[in-house]
Structures are given as C-alpha cells and as structure tokens.
Amino acid sequence: MDADVAISIEPMQPHDVAAFRILVVETLAEFGMGEDPVLDADLQTPLDVYAAIWVARLDGVVVGSVALRDSDGEAVYLKRMYVRPDLRGAGLGARLLTTALDHARSTGARTIQLDTHTGMVAAQRLYERAGFRRTGTRTEEGAHDSRCEVLYALDL
C-alpha cells in the first residue's frame, strides 16, 4: 500500500498529546538535543499553546506534526514540524507544510515565520523550495540546552 495514501493529516486531539511529545523528543534526540523544560514547555499542553496543530497518522499512529502559533494578527509562526525518520523524503513534510500554509492564508495571515535547527538540513531545503527566505540566526538558551537556529520567513 502507498504510505502517502494511507497517511491522514488531522487536527490534533487531546489523546494525541503523548504521541506528539514522543515524536518531538525522539526527533530532538536524533539531532543531539534533549528535551529542555524551557525550550520545550509547549510539549506539556500543546493544544493550549498553538492556534492550530495537526498530526499525521499512519494506521492510527502519529508519524508527523506541524503547528501554528499566532503572533500579531498578520504574522504566524510555524512550529513543531516533524516527520518520523522512516517516512522522510516521501512528501509527508510537504503535505504538512501545505496544510499549515493553507490554514495561515485562510485566516488572513500575511507572513509566516519559522526557526529550524542548523542540523536539520533537509527541512531547510523543504522550506526554501516552498519559497521561504532566510532572515538570520539566533541561539535559544534553555534550562540545560542551547540551540542554534536558522530563521526563515515567507510572505503569503
């Protein structure tokens, strides 16, 4: 069966929170980062933190995610876009990104911004193919972790 056909993208539900957290923590570990209580505080209550959040499911299992956080009414922030390693490169990231971009446009956002870890090169290529432009870098400092981030923006 084609995995792309079997994978659904749906708004996150309360019962998805634990699986979402596991997906994020496992992805962070893959790139040499641990869960940080400051930088990753949103993982405790993502449905309260984000304006919109989706999960990708394969046979009922959460295998991807993407979220939007409101900013000032004209800008939104793309956050927590992750795909399980064995499903990367098959278009799921692009589908998640399109879901978020379509939603942002439908709510009147004029700009979408994001940050991604410097080591997430495939994600950076995906964002650049979608028209995002690099706007700078920053280092986020948490309780026990720091992360160098590449910043992007896209005018909608």
What is the token pair recorded at 8?
Answer: 């659904």
CA angle (68 as vertex; 132, 61 as ends), nearest 5: 105
Range of the domain at 83: 3-110
Strand extents, DSSP E, 36-145: 52-58, 61-70, 75-83, 111-117, 133-141
3-state helix, strand, coil in the chain (%, to 5): 35, 35, 30
CA 138 to each of CA 39, 66, 115: distance values in angstroms, whole numbers, following the listed order: 14, 21, 9
156 is a domain residue? no
Residue 23 pLDDT exceeds 90: yes
pLDDT tens digit sequence for 81-124:
999 999 999 999 999 999 999 999 999 999 999 999 988 999 99
Residue 1 pLDDT exceeds 50: no
131 is a domain residue? no
| Total count of domains within the chain | 1
Q: Residue 35 maps to which CATH number? A: 3.40.630.30
What is the token pair recorded at 37?
Answer: 């209580």
Percent of the chain with pLDDT over 90: 75
Residue 7 pLDDT exceeds 60: yes
Of 42, 37, 47, residue with least CA distance to 15: 47
Residue 5 pLDDT exceeds 70: no
135 is a domain residue? no
144 is a domain residue? no
Residue 129 pLDDT exceeds 50: yes
128 is a domain residue? no
d(CA 123, CA 83): 10
129 is a domain residue? no
d(CA 81, CA 68): 10
- Confidence band, pLDDT 50/70/90 cuts, at residue 147: confident
91, containing H or E segment: none
**Whole-prediction pTM value?**
0.90
123 is a domain residue? no
15 is a domain residue? yes
pLDDT tens digit sequence for 31-58:
988 898 888 999 999 999 999 999 999 9
